[in-house]
Structure 1
Amino acid sequence: METRLSPEFAGTPEGQQAEAILRACVHCGFCTATCPTYQLLGDELDGPRGRIYLIKQVLEGAEPTRKTQQHLDRCLTCRNCETTCPSGVAYGQLIDIGRRVVDAKVPRPAGQRAARWALMEGLTSPLFGPALKLGQALKPLVPKALKDKVPHARPSGAWPTREHARKVLMLAGCVQPAMAPNINAATARVLDAIGVQALTAPDAGCCGAIRQHLSDHDGALADMRRNIDAWWPLVQRDAVEAIVVNASGCGVQVKDYGRELGADPAYAEKAARIAALARDPVEFLADQAEALAAKLRAKPAENLAWHPPCSLQHGQRLGGRVEDLLRKLGFSVSLPAESHLCCGSAGTYSVLQADLSKQLRERKLKHLAHLAPQRILSANIGCIQHLQSGTTMPVQHWLEFLDEAMRDR
């Protein structure tokens, strides 16, 4: 795509990055066919190609409007378009740049600014856990718009206490320890069963994705640096063999630390090493099928439905890996129709774009219901909570399911 950046952006690192991405696009439109929002709305500007044009126009000097902002806001950042694109356009990076540029030029209404600030500061705060517990206790009084974001309290079970020579770091995350504490504990127990000790760094927190996708790039970089500082003492002395990130949305972000901090002389080398160590659990466990199988105590005769998060299949390009591992372990796993499409969660999207999010959730649940499963498995806390709020069918992390199968019931 021919591009002529305006003097405001020409020669800047952000402008150069965007220009290289724009030039890779050949206008083919393959991305439109797999874009969830285009399928719902039928508007070219609510598909990747249209949003690319909007971003290009702004970078070339056109003045963005509230409509420009709305079309970019409606993007889920699911990156399905990247999987479809034959030219390798890094759309996820481009939409982040486009949103930051447009948000700097188009002031948001006060209500939107307040909601976005509350999400960035509230979800990543140490006070999120106590606030969630209060919401669970007073759920009948929670506003209707937020009620399905408050899950039922779930116990985490015991964290393993055995020490092993093999050790990994594990990102606890920001919302996951409060919303679904059993995911981290179950991950630690599965690792413990095969002789791997999971460690957490108390000072680590949000991976940076929440602020990144709400156009607070400086805040996201600060989150990344804080995590690197928290992990570095163990990484520097080679005390861990990997950083296991069991929320696939966070995994995408941590694997991108090297690129995001590549121009920071104090953190570039550290960030690259952290990114190289980051692993989704399925990557770490892929060659452990025999060891895992030996630990299974129960193989439930259930029909399992697998919902692959966009961050796993499009962001990390690990589609097919979890269901393959579960099948090797003897479980029956099926994928629904349109398994490549987003469920509508997409981090804070389900709050900020609630109508579109719910439409995508109902579409996803309809396809999942056709499989008549006893439970739905996934790999990202956002997807799990979003789907669970729309169905009575159990929805859980695949490592929670595997942990159950390894323990006496």
Structure 2
Amino acid sequence: MQTRFAPDRLADAATRESEKILRTCVHCGFCTATCPTYLLLGDELDSPRGRIYLIKDMLEGGKPATPEVVKHIDRCLSCLSCMTTCPSGVHYMHLVDHARAHIQDTYVRPPADRRLRDLYARVLPHRGRFRAALMAARLGRPFGPLVARLPGFGARLAASLKLSPTRPLPKARYRPGDTIAATASPAGGGRRGRVAILTGCAQQVLRPTINEAAIRLLTAHGVEVVLPRGEGCCGALVHHMGREGEAHAAAKANIDAWTREIEGEGLDAILITTSGCGTTVKDYGFMLRQDPAYAEKAARVAALARDVTEYLATLELSAPLRTLKGPLAYHSACSMQHGQKITDLPKRLLKEAGFAVRDVPEGHICCGSAGTYNLLQPELADRLRDRKVANIAKLAPVAVAAGNIGCMTQIGIGTDIPVVHTVELLDWARGGPAPHGWDIPDALVTAPEADAPAPNPLAAALG
């Protein structure tokens, strides 16, 4: 794509980066075939190619965002399916993030929209506030239809009530500042490794049992786990709302917390059990590349960041004790397959644990969760969820495995099929408790096949 940025515009580092990304686009349109909003709406401006044209025009002229630009950028899920499809390597993620920051700086949203976004930004990334909000939302669920009729943001506020849990929230066993020693050591004795796990924000409130399953699995295989004091939200929720300053502050707090551990006893990896967070933490080096105080530390942290399944693949996991009868549907979160390019690894770990894994049809299409998308764009999010749930139903699975709490929540409100985290199943297969909220019937439990694949064929090569 030809660009005509004035030299003074290119003096800005973010604009300079976006100009390079724009130049890689060749207008081929392959991205339209896998863009969820284009598939739903059929509007060129709701495709990556159309949004790229809008972003180019806005940034090239240094123009304030217009209502038309905001509408189509807001409809983007940031699912990044277009990046997987693109033959030219257009880094759409960095481009749309820059566009959202520009919108935040130059566009005055209608009062109701502004207040709702401010509310989510002030509540969701903070565990205590989020927990209190969910308790209030649980009481308010019966009034959802009435809330939906409120002028302004009633429909969107009602969407948040619908997404709130229907049962009491589980209490977290571990907190930042805790160190959990290995309960077993590999052959030859000694600690096998030392890792940090991101506690984060939403997942720690909605289902802390996911991290607890990961900790059990890791410590049982000789890995010490630390939850560094001072870490919290990864910054993704506000980052994708264009609130760059808040996102960078969250990133810096995590970087400081992890750097203390790296420079203390050391870390072999920083593990993340929510793939949406993983995509962002792995991008810290880019996000803070212009900050002289943090650029080097951010790059070091990003290099250590791993999805929990990536690290588990380096361990020689024990043989499974039990598995499930019937097919297990695997939902690959967009942030996992498109953002981090992790596709087969979680499925392989599940298969090695004896599960009969099946890919969800149209697995590359987003479920509609996408951070705060299902709160801010509930109509489109619901249509995508219904499409995803219909595709899951085709497999008639006994459960759905996923690696992202947002997807689990979004899909879970559309089906009675249990939706559980991959690491919860891997832990349960080796003797851990059932995933939170799922009383697994005895009729679904069976012993793994005797000729199941040997655990982790990468272990020997990776040591």
Question: Which category of TM-score, normalised to the shorter sequence, fits these structures?
Answer: over 0.9
Superposed displacement of residue 302, structure 1: 3.0
Indicate how the Cα distance of structure 1 residues 26 and 161 shifts in structure 2: closer, same or farther if over 3 A, else same. closer
* Residue in structure 2 matched with residue 313 of structure 1 by the alignment: 337
Q: Deviation string for 1:307-354 (max 9, x for gaps)? A: 000000000001121112211222100012110110000000000000
Instruction: Work out whether residues 120 and 210 of structure 1, in 8 Å CA contact, stay in contact via their aligned partners in 2.
Output: yes
Instruction: Work out whether residues 252 and 316 of structure 1, in 8 Å CA contact, stay in contact via their aligned partners in 2.
Output: yes
Superposed displacement of residue 250, structure 1: 0.2
C-alpha distance in structure 1 between counterparts of 2:219 and 2:338, whole Å: 29
The alignment partner of 1:305 has SS state of strand
Indicate how the Cα distance of structure 1 residues 89 and 388 shifts in structure 2: closer, same or farther if over 3 A, else same. same
C-alpha distance in structure 2 between counterparts of 1:112 and 1:158, whole Å: 37
C-alpha distance in structure 2 between counterparts of 1:408 and 1:363, whole Å: 33
Superposed displacement of residue 400, structure 1: 1.1
* Counterpart check, 1:5 vs 2:5: yes
* Residue in structure 2 matched with residue 179 of structure 1 by the alignment: 206
* Counterpart check, 1:276 vs 2:278: no
C-alpha distance in structure 2 between counterparts of 1:254 and 1:157, whole Å: 23
| 1:259-270 correspondence runs (5 A) | 259-270=286-297
Equivalent AA in structure 2 for residue 307 of structure 1: H
Q: Deviation string for 1:275-323 (max 9, x for gaps)? A: 01100011101133xx3242x2212223100000000000000112111
Superposed displacement of residue 373, structure 1: 0.3
C-alpha distance in structure 1 between counterparts of 2:286 and 2:172, whole Å: 37
Superposed displacement of residue 187, structure 1: 1.1
The alignment partner of 1:205 has SS state of coil
The alignment partner of 2:323 has SS state of coil
* Counterpart check, 1:155 vs 2:179: no
The alignment partner of 1:396 has SS state of strand
* Residue in structure 1 matched with residue 448 of structure 2 by the alignment: none
Superposed displacement of residue 359, structure 1: 0.2
* Residue in structure 2 matched with residue 342 of structure 1 by the alignment: 366
TM-score (norm 1): 0.95
* Residue in structure 2 matched with residue 140 of structure 1 by the alignment: 142
* Counterpart check, 1:292 vs 2:292: no
Instruction: Work out whether residues 293 and 329 of structure 1, in 8 Å CA contact, stay in contact via their aligned partners in 2.
Output: no
* Residue in structure 2 matched with residue 395 of structure 1 by the alignment: 419
Instruction: Work out whether residues 140 and 161 of structure 2, in 8 Å CA contact, stay in contact via their aligned partners in 1.
Output: no
C-alpha distance in structure 1 between counterparts of 2:77 and 2:180, whole Å: 40
Indicate how the Cα distance of structure 1 residues 359 and 77 shifts in structure 2: closer, same or farther if over 3 A, else same. same
C-alpha distance in structure 2 between counterparts of 1:47 and 1:284, whole Å: 35
C-alpha distance in structure 1 between counterparts of 2:237 and 2:423, whole Å: 24
Indicate how the Cα distance of structure 1 residues 56 and 371 shifts in structure 2: closer, same or farther if over 3 A, else same. same
The alignment partner of 2:205 has SS state of helix
C-alpha distance in structure 2 between counterparts of 1:267 and 1:331, whole Å: 43
* Counterpart check, 1:128 vs 2:130: yes
* Residue in structure 1 matched with residue 106 of structure 2 by the alignment: 105
Q: Deviation string for 1:238-268 (max 9, x for gaps)? A: 5221000110000001011111111111111
Farther off after superposition, 299-308 or 34-43: 299-308
Aligned residues: 406
Q: Any unmatched runs of 5+ in structure 2?
A: 148-157, 184-190, 434-463
Superposed displacement of residue 141, structure 1: 4.6
Indicate how the Cα distance of structure 1 residues 376 and 112 shifts in structure 2: closer, same or farther if over 3 A, else same. same
* Residue in structure 2 matched with residue 26 of structure 1 by the alignment: 26
Q: Any unmatched runs of 5+ in structure 1?
A: none
* Residue in structure 1 matched with residue 270 of structure 2 by the alignment: 243
TM-score (norm 2): 0.84
C-alpha distance in structure 2 between counterparts of 1:395 and 1:321, whole Å: 19
Equivalent AA in structure 1 for residue 252 of structure 2: R
C-alpha distance in structure 1 between counterparts of 2:142 and 2:349, whole Å: 41
Superposed displacement of residue 14, structure 1: 1.2
Q: Deviation string for 1:188-233 (max 9, x for gaps)? A: 1111221112211231111011111011111111111111111111
Equivalent AA in structure 1 for residue 367 of structure 2: C
Q: Deviation string for 1:165-197 (max 9, x for gaps)? A: 322100011111111111111111111221112
* Residue in structure 2 matched with residue 35 of structure 1 by the alignment: 35
C-alpha distance in structure 1 between counterparts of 2:64 and 2:138, whole Å: 45
Equivalent AA in structure 2 for residue 135 of structure 1: A
The alignment partner of 1:204 has SS state of coil
Instruction: Work out whether residues 132 and 178 of structure 1, in 8 Å CA contact, stay in contact via their aligned partners in 2.
Output: no
Instruction: Work out whether residues 172 and 204 of structure 2, in 8 Å CA contact, stay in contact via their aligned partners in 1.
Output: no
C-alpha distance in structure 1 between counterparts of 2:385 and 2:275, whole Å: 18
